[in-house]
Structure 1
Amino acid sequence: MCCYRYFLLAVVLFGSFNAASGQDRVFEGPWKTTNRKLDGIMTAVIKDLGDERWQGRFYGVWQGVPFDYTVKFSGKPESLKGTAVIDFADYTWTGAIDEDAGTFTAKFGGSRYTGHFEMKEKKKGSAAATAAIEKINR
């Protein structure tokens, strides 16, 4: 009986921990480069770290090659900005999460590519959102 209580306590505690990852927001949509044709579809799992700090995990497949990058950024949802080094190239970008429209848009520029992306939020609890969150937690 004692072990059963510990098991239930563990389920409650770890269940609460997993619920926190449910706060991750999943967006998906196209990115487009303006200086070279490198367009594709990308998924982003965005986590609000608090104090206007964010982390995004961006992944997809481009020309048969998978990519997966984690970047940190800052600002209010309607005024995000960040920098990243991806494949030895420096990038800066500005963007916004529109709560009402359920979109995440941004413009980026860097030492290799310039462009923008326009993503739509996947409904929380949908198969696509659940799969994206499971992917980043592996």
Structure 2
Amino acid sequence: MRPAFKPLLFALWLLPLHLQAAEDTAPALPEPSAAQTQLRELEQRLAASERQRAALSAELQAGSGERESAQVQRLRQENQRLKLQLKRTQAESPARLLSDQQTWFAIGAGAGLLGVIIGALLRGNRRTRREWIN
């Protein structure tokens, strides 16, 4: 035999011993009937939990729906009250004569006209250009 095959043969000789030791230390599986019983019990608990969850969810939705509808109703009433108050305020306030843009235009025109009048008054009796030069 070649020396390269000795470790391989030794490993093959130890393999059955290793497998037997692994079987001895493996945890014992529960009986199939006990596992099935435990599975059925867990399924029943899951179904009961699902029913409780559905009942609580429905109760929560019903409670929040009532709260939301009451809140929506209050907000609608307040909205109607504010609309009515706005209409009253608009009816009571006098209509504006000029808009902001028109007001500024009038102020500018007034300033220009005032400048022309003051200029004419300051000119006085001087009609010719010679009078400007002393």
Larger Rg: 2
TM-score when normalising by structure 2:
0.21
TM-score when normalising by structure 1:
0.21
Q: Which has the higher strand share?
A: 1
